[in-house]
Amino acid sequence: MIAPDALKGYRGAARDVLTRFSVRVWSDVEMDTTRGKFTGIILPRSETADDRHIVLKLRTGYNIGVAVSTVKEILETGYREAHYKIPEREFPYDPAKPRVKLLGTGGTIASRLDYRTGAVIPAFSPGELYGSVPELADIGNLETEKLYGVFSENMGPEQWIGTARAIGREIEKGVDGIVIGHGTDTMHHTAAVLSFMVQNTPVPIVMVGSQRSSDRPSSDAAMNLICSTKVAAESDIAEVMVCMFGPTSDQYCLLHQGTRVRKMHSSYRSTFRTIGDVPIGQVSPDSIRTIRKDYRRRRKDRNVTIQAVFEPKVAIVQYYPNMQPDIIEALIDNGYKGIVIAGTGLGHVNKPLYPALRRAHDKGIALFMTVQTLWGYAQMYVYDTGRDLMDLGIVPAENMLPEVAYVKLGWTLAQTTDLAEVERIMLTSYAREITEREPHDGYLIFQAGAPWLQEHFRKFWK
Ligand code: ASP
């Protein structure tokens, strides 16, 4: 007889099947179904989910829902309760080591399984962190603080401002480096906005996340945390950066400038790429190797400027063929103060949008053009379309990435509504968001695009 709480969350048909085969939540099982055989662990079921599926964690780490109607037999091969509980340990203090502050905002890196619902939820505790990645203590003294516990689609102006202020506080307190745990989905938006809100940082500010939660064997959480903490503690790079998994072979992480980085793959661990530039460097648990040398250097002073402001009435419009002007009209009528367009090619949209864009300009809305190709510059003097759009008052934003131009415009419009000043700020490069030229070899060679290329170029990296 199975104890009722051994079937956490399971009801109805699913509960009946588990009871029939005498298996429980956390049982290791071999399941024979009409769709084939599956081997894994039975996970708790969300209390709000249907009663027709059993959730199985496969050996690969993926969770699947098996329809109870397909189950022929379930055999329990083992049982270990709460596989995914992270052991808590007190972080050891070593006065000789640098002081690193880890600010948590949420995302997969701060996630673990919720035993009640079976879902991956944000959680964050210093003890858990050290319990799961003890190597961190070899690098520095880590203090942690949970600022937020959200998946990153829920980060926005309020959290950006709060994070910038927290960074300012920590720098004044004297930390040697800051790590910010963040969901990967919008990490590049936050990295960009912090590059503007936090100016002249004397210490490294390193954003980190993970694509796969730490309960999965292929998790990138530990590697990313070790690399980012190492950069925060030891590097001389005083910039806002993103430090994430590099090649798929677990060799190193890539270190990206906060304004030149983008999440480029929805599920690979190797997802962040520097766009329009080469990464700042490569980081492994034993070494930091810089690729670019023109970064700002670490300083002893605490002269950081925090400009934590944001005008929320700003939008990005990703142009697509056949876009109707009512999209632009809606932004005008709803009081938007700035629009960043991600145009086609060198920075174009179709003619039917022109009257709406003219009206937007006449209303004093700041209009900037970026390119949806991501690499390259808005060059609006090449074709008639570009020239027409510039006549309508749209300003090409050089090679600023669309998301970067978006957060920069929100930050700028919160400081001034004088359009000439807005343009001046937008076209001044604060943190490499605009560069004079883009390297032709940025993507594949330095970013682990192809292993054979890596091997080839290793010879020249001495
Ligand atoms: N959806 C998650 C987030 O961005 C994904 C992650 O953390 O990797 O918060």
Per residue in 27-56, pLDDT tens? Answer: 899 999 999 999 998 987 765 668 899 988
Residues 409, 278 share a domain: no
Alpha-carbon distance of 226 to 210, in angstroms, equals 12
Cα dihedral across residues 373, 377, 381, 386: positive or negative: positive
Mark whether 270 and 402 lie in a shared domain: no
How many domains are contained in the chain? 3
pLDDT surpasses 80 at 309: yes
In this structure, the answer to whether residues 301 and 190 fall within a common structural domain is yes
In this predicted structure, the answer to whether residue 329 has a pLDDT above a threshold of 50 is yes
185 is catalytic: yes
In a domain, 230, yes or no: yes
Token reading at 95: 């006065």
Mean pLDDT, the chain, rounded, equals 88
Let me know whether 75 and 117 are in one domain: no
Dist. CA 162 → ligand 1 center (Å): 19
Residue 177's DSSP bridge partners are 100
Residues 113-170: tens digit of each pLDDT: 544 444 454 446 666 777 778 888 899 998 888 899 888 999 999 999 999 999 999 9
CA of 151 to the centre of ligand 1 (A): 5
The CATH number for 226's domain is 3.40.50.1170
Contact 197, 407 (CB under 8 A): no
Q: Element (H or E) spanning 170, and its range?
A: helix 157-173
CATH of the domain at 68: 2.30.30.520
- The neighbour count for residue 165, using CB atoms within 10 Å, is 15
- State whether 216 and 280 are in the same domain: yes
Q: Is 399 in the pocket of ligand 1 (CB under 6 A)?
A: no
User: Is the same domain home to 294 and 422?
Assistant: no
The CA 365 to ligand 1 mean position distance, Å, reads: 33
User: What percent of the chain is modeled with pLDDT above 70?
Assistant: 86
* Shared-domain flag, residues 198 and 272: yes
DSSP letter at 383? Answer: S
DSSP state, residue 260: S
HSE of 11 in the Cβ direction (CA atoms, 13 Å)? Answer: 8
Instruction: Evaluate whether residue 198 is within a structural domain.
Output: yes
Would the CB of 190 count as within 6 Å of ligand 1?
A: no
CA of 111 to the centre of ligand 1 (A): 9
Of the listed ranges 59-73, 105-119, 185-199, 213-227, the least confidently predicted one is 105-119
- Euclidean distance between CA atoms 71 and 17, whole angstroms: 8
| Closest to 403 measured CA to CA, from 334, 335, 314 | 314
Sign of the CA dihedral running 116, 117, 118, 121: negative
CB of 229 within 6 A of ligand 1: the answer is no
Tokens representing residue 311 in the block: 């005008």
pLDDT value of residue 18: 93
Rg over alpha carbons for the chain, rounded to the nearest Å, is 25
436 falls within a domain: no
State whether 187 and 295 are in the same domain: yes
Closest ligand 1 atom to Cα of 186: 4
Q: Output the pLDDT for position 421.
A: 98
Residue from 364, 369, 337 nearest 353 by CA: 369
pLDDT per residue as tens digits for the range 444-459? 556 665 666 666 666 7
User: Which residues span the domain enclosing 104?
Assistant: 99-306
Residue 447 Cβ inside 6 Å of ligand 1? The answer reads: no
Judged against a pLDDT cut of 80, whether residue 408 lies above it is answered with yes
Decide if 379 contacts 387 (C-beta within 8 A): no
Known catalytic membership, residue 16: no
- Confidence at residue 233, expressed as pLDDT on a 0 to 100 scale: 97
- Taking the C-alpha atoms of residue 340 and residue 378, their distance in angstroms, rounded to an integer, is 12
Same domain, 345 and 301: no
Looking at the structure, tell me whether residues 160 and 271 fall in a common domain: yes
Pocket flag, ligand 1, residue 368 (CB < 6 Å): no
Report how far Cα 265 is from the mean position of its chain's Cα atoms: 11
CA 286 to mean position of chain CA atoms: 24
Where does a domain end: 271, 306, 341?
306
pLDDT per residue over 209-259, tens digit each?
988 776 666 778 888 999 999 999 999 999 999 999 887 667 889 999 999
For ligand 1, whether the C-beta of 181 sits within 6 Å is no
Question: Is the C-beta atom of 185 inside 6 A of ligand 1?
Answer: yes
Q: Is residue 62 in a domain?
A: yes
Marked catalytic residue, from 185, 215, 220, 277: 185
The answer as to whether 449 is a domain residue is: no
Q: Which of 105, 144, 163, 184 is catalytic?
A: 184
Report CA(107)–ligand 1 centroid distance (Å): 4
Residue 377 has pLDDT above 50, yes or no: yes
Residues 299, 322 within the same domain? no
Catalytic option among 263, 271, 370, 408:
263
Instruction: Check if 152 has its Cβ closer than 6 Å to any atom of ligand 1.
Output: yes
Residue 445 maps to a domain: no
Q: Is residue 115 part of a domain?
A: yes
176 included as an active-site residue: no
183 lines ligand 1 (CB under 6 A): yes
281-298 pLDDT, tens per residue?
999 999 999 999 999 999
184 is catalytic: yes
**28, 101, 105, 108: which is the annotated catalytic residue?**
108
- For ligand 1, the distance from its centroid to the CA atom of residue 422, given in whole angstroms, is 32
Cα-Cα-Cα-Cα dihedral sign, residues 225, 226, 228, 233:
positive
Residue 182 lies in a domain: yes
Q: Map residue 204 onto helix, strand or coil.
A: coil
Judge if 171 and 199 occupy the same domain: yes
